[in-house]
């Protein structure tokens, strides 16, 4: 709402928080307790928490007058029922150690839900949001609320991602730890920085992998086959969880910018009522719009996420009105 002319005029700063824990499923002010709890979870999210702590320290040094607000990336998923949120481990351990499927990309999901009205004139009743960027997740929504999502306890779980392995069976992980002599933090770092498309092809950037795919590169072909298979399997599962499907939203940088990737992700799904209009899909770059055919039972749209705008909206709720 204006240009900042003096840093001292900045009173509030919103910081995205990606960390597991019921404590972090609420937007809240960042204080000493918050930072302490964040440091406790550092080994679980090595891609996200260390940079966040560094950011907080910088703000405290450079803008000591500013109130910092932790914008939860998992708050959106608080509506998930226990059957989707809980793991099948001993109940006392679930509660004592706060082990749940918290889900992430919530800020993005909240942003996209708000923007669906401008595309469909309402929020579709049974909808799946597919966030496909360097991080990848899928969320099933019933009347705009999350009932399940692919990411679980940590942001490295779920679907195959740029450098994150996604779901990796515990036995396989334990065996990797044994043969590679990994300690806990090393194992977490390995599956979140050396897995996913990077592990399969040597690089994490969808643009490069799609270019290699067009050149019939064998590693790229196998990697995208695996990626699309896992993606579509989750899509089908969430259609079952919702009891049907009205709309699919593709969002985040990779799917927003690549008509090729969108075609791959939703190819051969006519049986599910999904039909893509190739002409619409080919020209949709840089703006929101519907890419499904007029007779497609499931509407498919590309909607650009605006996480910064969503963080601004949440941060504003912590600003006291001027007297």
Q: Which domains does the chain carry?
A: 106-307 (3.30.420.40)
DSSP E strands: which ranges in 49-199? 67-72, 126-132, 136-142, 145-149
Q: What's the pTM value of the predicted model, to 2 decimals?
A: 0.95
Report the half-sphere exposure of 112 (CA within 13 A, side-chain side). 34
β-pairing, 126-132 vs 136-142, is antiparallel
Q: Which of 28-37, 115-124, 158-167, 185-194 has the lowest mean pLDDT?
A: 185-194
Q: Average pLDDT of 116-125?
A: 96
- Which position has the token pair 């959106």? 76
pLDDT exceeds 80 at position 86: yes
What percent of the chain clears pLDDT 70, i.e. is strictly above it? 99
- The catalytic residue positions are 73
In a 13 Å sphere around the CA of 186, the CA atoms on its Cβ side amount to: 9
Alpha carbons 36 and 74: distance in angstroms, whole number: 19
Statement: residue 169 has pLDDT above 90 = yes
Q: Token pair of 112, please? A: 């996209």
pLDDT category of residue 47 using cuts at 50, 70 and 90: confident
The one-character DSSP state at 41 is T
126: left (phi over 0), alpha (psi -120 to 50) or beta: beta
Which pLDDT band holds residue 284 (cuts at 50, 70, 90)?
very high
User: Contact, 86 vs 96, CB < 8 A?
Assistant: no
pLDDT > 50? residue 323: no
Which range of 188-192, 252-256, 318-322 scores highest in mean pLDDT? It is 252-256
Task: Give the relative orientation of helices 32-40 and 49-62 as an angle to the nearest 10 degrees.
Answer: 160
């Amino acid at each position: 709402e204006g240009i900042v002319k003096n840093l001292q005029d900045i009173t509030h700063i919103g910081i995205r928080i990606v960390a597991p824990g019921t404590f972090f499923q609420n937007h809240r002010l960042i204080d000493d307790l918050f930072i302490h709890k964040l440091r406790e979870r550092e080994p679980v999210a090595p891609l996200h928490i260390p940079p966040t702590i560094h950011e907080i320290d910088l703000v405290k040094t450079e803008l000591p007058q500013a109130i910092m607000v932790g914008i939860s990336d998992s708050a959106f998923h608080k509506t998930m029922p226990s059957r989707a949120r809980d793991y099948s481990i001993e109940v006392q351990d679930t509660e004592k150690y706060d082990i749940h499927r918290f889900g992430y990309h919530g800020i993005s999901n909240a942003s996209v839900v708000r923007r669906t009205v401008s595309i469909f004139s309402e929020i579709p009743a049974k909808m799946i949001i597919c966030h496909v960027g360097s991080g990848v997740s899928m969320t099933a929504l019933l009347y705009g609320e999350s009932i399940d999502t692919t990411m679980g306890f940590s942001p490295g779980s779920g679907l195959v991602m740029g450098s994150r392995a996604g779901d990796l069976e515990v036995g396989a992980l334990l065996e990797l730890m044994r043969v590679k002599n990994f300690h806990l933090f090393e194992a977490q770092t390995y599956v979140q920085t050396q897995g996913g498309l990077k592990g399969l092809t040597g690089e994490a950037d969808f643009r490069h992998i799609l270019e290699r795919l067009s050149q019939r590169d064998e590693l790229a072909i196998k990697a995208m086959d695996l990626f699309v298979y896992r993606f579509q399997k989750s899509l089908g599962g969430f259609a079952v969880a919702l009891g049907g499907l009205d709309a699919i939203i593709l969002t985040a940088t990779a799917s927003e910018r690549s008509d090729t990737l969108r075609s791959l992700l939703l190819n051969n799904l006519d049986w599910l009522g999904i039909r893509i209009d190739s002409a619409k899909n080919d020209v949709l770059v840089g703006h929101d719009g519907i890419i499904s055919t007029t007779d497609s039972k499931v509407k498919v749209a590309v909607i650009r996420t605006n996480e910064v705008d969503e963080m601004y909206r949440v941060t504003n709720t912590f600003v006291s009105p001027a007297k």
